[in-house]
Chains A and B, each alone.
Chain A
Amino acid sequence: MSDAPANRLSDDLLRPLLQTSWRFYALVAFLGSIVLMGLGTWAYQMYNGFGVTGINNPIFWAVYVTNFVFWIGISHAGMVITAILRLVNAGWRRPVTRCAEAITVFALMIGALFPLIHLGRPWLFFWLIPYPSSRQIWPNFRSPLVWDFFAISTYLTGSVLFLGLPMIPDFALVRDRTTGWRRRIYGGLALGWTGTPKQWHRLESAMSIMAIAILPVAISVHTVVSFDFSMAPVPMWHSTIFGPYFVAGAIFSGIAGLLIVTAALRKFLHLEEYVHPVHIQNLGKLLLLMSLLWAYFLFVERLTVWYGNESAEIAVLRVTQKGSFAPLYWTMVVCNFVMPFSILSLKKLRTITGCVIASCGVLIGMWLERFLIVVPSLGHKYLPYTWGTYRPRPVEILITISTFAALVLLYTLFVKFVPIISIWELRAAEHPSPALLPAAAREQALGETQA
């Protein structure tokens, strides 16, 4: 491994900002049209009435709420990776920190959109905001949906900070390296950063505080999201396992998302020198760990329900495992456990490609898991006369697809305007490759810049 000169590092990592190919415009146009289609579909839904979805009596929550939970789950990528890894000073995190934090912010933004999309009267969503209103009532603070509002807005604020703070030195770098309008804009964004030790110290303190603070916020966010379900007396919702289960699942899907994004960026932005196979493989190992954890939670939940033999819960268990939802259920098990376990536990298969395949499987599996939490339980509550089925309709499918496109679009735009790998953090390690332990020791001197 040879040291890339510092300039080469900057050149490589700034290239996407300074050079734009037609492929970028094509991609943005393509993704943008899908996103516009999604917005148009939402407008169609608002205009024609919520009945254009597949929601019915008794299944009042389905794909939109699944998407909500799924995206909030994905958003845990950043928090976990960067906060936890930052806290334990795992050096190999450096190339992926900003990736992860960006995923967090965008996934949160998308996820937070879904509570609006799933409302019957979305133009009144602002009643969830606690402001002194002429109606002389506050939001109902006992409602988990209001907790959602606070939790998600707090997490979003924190994540934006957590993403934005480390970008300041990089913005300064770009400012210094460019001219014209770019210099002005990035100069503004750099907030007058000059790289003095005092500024470095402040930055590091802020980031340490955020790293610690964001952890409980993130855990609480998905716990609060899980409360949307566990606080309702619905069979197989009303369970104490939901908090930890959701958080574990969120981290699980977050890592998978991060892995895919990292691998994609590595390939499309030619960051092979900065994102090494071992980075992806380490993420893969984390993914394996979470897969085992997820499988443990699934097993514990299901064993308890089965053993407890409470008739309403057994009905739900039966319909997911043996009944009409069985194909989805077993697909989920394969995607979330069987496949990742097989691929990621064998070193030979734990290649970048292997990890990406496993991660794709996990994303599918985790989406299905959310769906299978929401829909079968609602369709099989306590009075069998009221049981029902659900099938998604085109509006729900189109909006779902458009959110994936939205994430990629946001990411594409982000990558165009911000260096995707934190240049100063890489430089601070002196070495793009985190594999060598001595480099880790040098991270103590995080405040020093290198020529």
Chain B
Amino acid sequence: MAHRWGMAVDLDRCTGCGACVAACHAENNIPTVGPDQAGRGRAMHWLRVERYWEGDFPDVRLKFRPVMCQQCDAAPCEPVCPTYASHHTDEGLNAQVYNRCIGTRYCANACPYNVRFFEFFNPQWPKPLHLQLNPDVSVREVGVMEKCTFCVQRITAAEIDAKAGKRELKDGEIQTACAQSCAARALVFGDLNDPDSDVSRLSRSPRGSKLLEDLGTLPKVTYLDRQTQV
């Protein structure tokens, strides 16, 4: 049976530390845009940890929510791309084909989660920071859109490995960079078509819900609410 990749985010475990954000930058060759461009709203955090205040002092609370591309099964970004740069793969991922993208940015408008980012300039890595670049991930040029891919390079590498070794992939064998770096184990990645996988199990949790579910995008990330103490 084909894989169907999904994630679960346990908001009761997430502490908002941001290790996942840094790990994603390191894994996916995301450019650091610098203070001027960040000030103009061009920072490219494929994964971000949203934070919302609730209440007022002294009854004030804060909540954290890591948001990445939800790899929607009914992704609004896919029909609107004129060149099929944004399209759905057989394994349920929303793939962004950089070579096809001509930069209309319609997909970014259509995405209700605002998880799509645009290369406003050709990225620069002052030497020798370029040595850190991950050779398994493209470096995107100016004018194309990009976003979280569920670390498709890791998925592909693991699938090739499993195929070469004539074996099945095990649950937990593939970890996205964010999930791997999370000390609290708040992020879980896996195969939703495997009912015994951690992610499937967590997706069935009564605490689980989807982000902006009522828009009908069919996202594949399940958020487990923070539990309240009895």
Give residues in A with beta carbon < 8 Å to B: 48-51, 54-61, 115, 118-122, 124-125, 127-128, 135, 137, 139-140, 142-146, 149, 228, 231-234, 378, 381-386, 388-389
Q: How far is the CA of A283 from the CA of B80 in the complex (A)?
A: 38
**Is the C-beta of B50 less than 8 angstroms from some C-beta in chain A?**
yes
**Is the C-beta of B25 less than 8 angstroms from some C-beta in chain A?**
no
Q: How far is the CA of A119 from the CA of B101 in the complex (A)?
A: 10
Q: B113-143: which residues lie under 8 A (CB-CB) from chain A? A: 113-114, 117-122, 142-143
Q: Are B212 and A382 in contact (CB under 8 A)?
A: yes
**Is the C-beta of B195 less than 8 angstroms from some C-beta in chain A?**
no
Q: Are A228 and B108 in contact (CB under 8 A)?
A: no
CB distance from B103 to the nearest CB of A (A): 2
**Is the C-beta of B37 less than 8 angstroms from some C-beta in chain A?**
yes
Q: Are A143 and B76 in contact (CB under 8 A)?
A: no
Q: How far is the CA of A89 from the CA of B204 in the complex (A)?
A: 68
CB distance from B124 to the nearest CB of A (A): 11
Per DSSP, chain A at the interface is loop
CB distance from A127 to the nearest CB of B (A): 5
Q: How large is the interface on B (under 10, 10 to 19, 20 to 34, 35 or more residues)?
A: 35 or more
Per DSSP, chain B at the interface is loop
Q: Are A383 and B50 in contact (CB under 8 A)?
A: yes
Q: A55-B120, A232-B109 are in contact. Are A383 and B114 (CB under 8 A)?
A: yes
Q: Are B143 and A50 in contact (CB under 8 A)?
A: yes
Residues in B neighbouring A122, C-beta threshold 8 A: 102-103
**B110: contacting residue among A48, A49, A233, A389, CB under 8 A:** A233
Q: Are A120 and B102 in contact (CB under 8 A)?
A: yes
Closest-by-CB residue of B relative to A46 is B143
Binary contact readout B184-211 vs A (1 if CB under 8 angstroms, 0 otherwise): 0000000000000000000000000000
Residues in A neighbouring B120, C-beta threshold 8 A: 49-51, 55
Q: Are B41 and A56 in contact (CB under 8 A)?
A: yes
Most buried by A among B42, B76, B102, B112: B102
**A127: contacting residue among B82, B142, B145, CB under 8 A:** B82
Q: How far is the CA of A50 from the CA of B118 in the complex (A)?
A: 9
Q: Are B121 and A49 in contact (CB under 8 A)?
A: yes
Residues in B neighbouring A120, C-beta threshold 8 A: 101-105, 118-119, 142-145
Q: How far is the CA of A48 from the CA of B43 in the complex (A)?
A: 18
Residues in B neighbouring A137, C-beta threshold 8 A: 83-84, 100
**A145: contacting residue among B104, B112, B118, B122, CB under 8 A:** B104
Closest 3 CB pairs of A and B: A120-B103, A120-B143, A51-B120
Q: Are A145 and B110 in contact (CB under 8 A)?
A: no
Closest-by-CB residue of B relative to A228 is B106
Residues in A neighbouring B81, C-beta threshold 8 A: 140, 143
Residues in A neighbouring B217, C-beta threshold 8 A: 233
Q: Are B84 and A124 in contact (CB under 8 A)?
A: no
Return 7 A-B CB contacts under 8 Å, by A number: A55-B120, A57-B43, A119-B103, A119-B104, A128-B83, A383-B212, A389-B41
**A232: contacting residue among B40, B48, B103, B110, CB under 8 A:** B110
**Is the C-beta of B172 less than 8 angstroms from some C-beta in chain A?**
no
CB distance from A128 to the nearest CB of B (A): 5
